[in-house]
A and B are shown apart, each in its own frame.
Chain A
Amino acid sequence: AQSVTQPDIHITVSEGASLELRCNYSYGATPYLFWYVQSPGQGLQLLLKYFSGDTLVQGIKGFEAEFKRSQSSFNLRKPSVHWSDAAEYFCAVVNTGGFKTIFGAGTRLFVKA
């Protein structure tokens, strides 16, 4: 069965520090991979996505993610976090057949001054 694991329920980083949010997936083939961000009481905003090609993907707001097939991972990174990045981050997988999206449990990011 397909699944997405985000091992960290919450992470706290200092403003200006680097960030890495972990995501591991379980899927028989290479899925379509996504990272979304959700501010409190809001919908989801797409940060970036990976379908194929270059395994390092650039997204909006200075985020990037790297697909590593050998580790079944798609970790999200940002070199310098801003206070406005505090939010909930969801990793998601879409199967290439039925286009059903499976979301991870989410990681809450706290940014301290």
Chain B
Amino acid sequence: GAVVSQHPSRVICKSGTSVKIECRSLDFQATTMFWYRQFPKKSLMLMATSNEGSKATYEQGVEKDKFLINHASLTLSTLTVTSAHPEDSSFYICSASQVDRETQYFGPGTRLLVL
């Protein structure tokens, strides 16, 4: 089956620093990748959708200058949390889909803790 990896699995950083999270599709080409944020005991909130080679589309209320998304290749998308603050602490999950886009394959998630 389609496998999506995320790195790192967890990260702790100081307030004010930037953190980059990688999302890779290991055995398929992901034309579209999605980034979600999940608060404790809550559902997933879509942050942005990115298509390879083009700018990401951000959901309403998501600061694109704070959450930088790059989808430089068909197997890699990155989410950079810039100038992280404690309120950015969360579980970030990416997913990837192929050309049909109906089915998304999810990564294992990245736990971010900002001190």
> A residues near B, CB below 8 A?
32, 34, 36, 41-46, 49, 51, 90, 94, 99-101, 103-106, 108
Query: What total of A-B pairs shows CB separation below 8 Å?
Result: 46
Give the 9 A-B residue pairs with the shortest CB-CB distance, closest first. Answer: A44-B106, A43-B108, A43-B106, A99-B101, A103-B43, A43-B109, A103-B44, A105-B43, A32-B102
Question: Contact partner of B43 among A34, A41, A49, A90, CB < 8 A?
Answer: A90
Q: B residues within 8 A CB of A99? A: 32, 97, 101-102
Q: Verify B43–A104 contact, CB threshold 8 A.
A: yes
CB of A34, distance to nearest CB on chain B (Å): 8
DSSP majority for the A interface?
Answer: strand
CB of A68, distance to nearest CB on chain B (Å): 20
CB of B111 within 8 A of chain A?
yes
Instruction: Give Cα A49–Cα B115 distance, bound, in whole angstroms.
Output: 39
Closest to A32 in B: B102
Instruction: Give Cα A104–Cα B43 distance, bound, in whole angstroms.
Output: 7
Jot down 12 A-B pairs with beta carbons below 8 A, ordered by A.
Answer: A36-B106, A42-B109, A43-B93, A43-B107, A43-B108, A44-B93, A90-B43, A99-B97, A100-B46, A103-B43, A106-B42, A106-B43
CB of B105 within 8 A of chain A?
yes
Q: B residues within 8 A CB of A41? A: 91, 109, 111
* A46-B43 contact in complex given A41-B109, A100-B49, A101-B34, C-beta closer than 8 Å: no
Q: B residues within 8 A CB of A46? A: 103, 105-106
CB of B104 within 8 A of chain A?
yes
Instruction: Give Cα A94–Cα B44 distance, bound, in whole angstroms.
Output: 14
Instruction: Give Cα A106–Cα B44 distance, bound, in whole angstroms.
Output: 9
